[in-house]
Amino acid sequence: MLIAPSILPQAFYREDTKSVAQALLGKVLCHRKSDGRLLMGRIVETEAYLGVDDPACHTFKDKKSAKNRSMYLDGGHAYIYVIYGMHYCLNLVTRTPAHPEAVLLRAIEPIGDAALPAKRPAAKANLESNGPGKLCRYLGLTKEQDGVPVWNESSGLWVLDAPPVPTAEVAARPRIGVDYAGEAAAWPLRYYVIGNRYVSKQ
């Protein structure tokens, strides 16, 4: 008999951002699309963005804008923005509005319906969610989900609890694509499951 998996509560996301980024590894991201299909994936790669004191973060120096509006919501909301004009990136907001921080979800391992065989060459068939832009495309996430709460199913986007990944299987490395951020570019705020094939870069 299976135990019903529980949805991570809002309190989970109000904790320290680095801790949340690591704790999210192994959890199961779920999206109920408007057509009813449920897409799921096990989170295997994340990055922490540490708010007003982090030059790589969109809320560096407490700069508010139309784009980063959702980062000033309470912990447990989604923050989705457009990058390079054609890709979406999904973040989960952490802490509280006084500390606008977030965790970028960079890669998931498809499970359930999402693991259906893809109409792609074999080499690429199972690599459709190994990167922040590809993850959103795969789950069907767009600006429509920007700002929605993720601690219950009503928003269509939520995260199921799952056993934590042992710390010995987690690597911490510099974040990707933030070379402009000075010394912050070297901060080891990217976390991933060592050896998992869906991690965007080893």
- Residue 94 structure tokens: 């952490």
The least CB distance from residue 6 to DNA, in Å, is 26
Binning the chain into helix, strand and coil, the percentages to the nearest 5 are 25, 30, 45
Selected from 133, 140, 149, 156, the binder of DNA by CB under 7 A is 133
Residue nearer to DNA on the CB measure, 68 or 145: 68
Q: Minimal CA–CA distance to 116: which of 198, 45, 43, 39?
A: 39
The least CB distance from residue 1 to DNA, in Å, is 38
Residue nearer to DNA on the CB measure, 5 or 135: 135
Selected from 10, 87, 115, 164, the binder of DNA by CB under 7 A is 87
Rounded Cα distance between 9 and 15, Å, is 11
Residues 44-73 that bind DNA (CB under 7 A): 47, 49, 56-58, 63, 65-68, 71
User: Vertex 180, ends 56 and 98: CA angle to 5°?
Assistant: 15
The number of beta carbons lying within 10 Å of the beta carbon of residue 192 is: 25
Contact letters for DNA, residues 11-40 (x by CB under 7 A): ------------------------------
The number of beta carbons lying within 10 Å of the beta carbon of residue 99 is: 18
- Residues contributing to the site for DNA (CB under 7 A): 47, 49, 56-58, 63, 65-68, 71, 79, 82-87, 89, 91, 102, 104, 131-135, 175-178, 180, 200
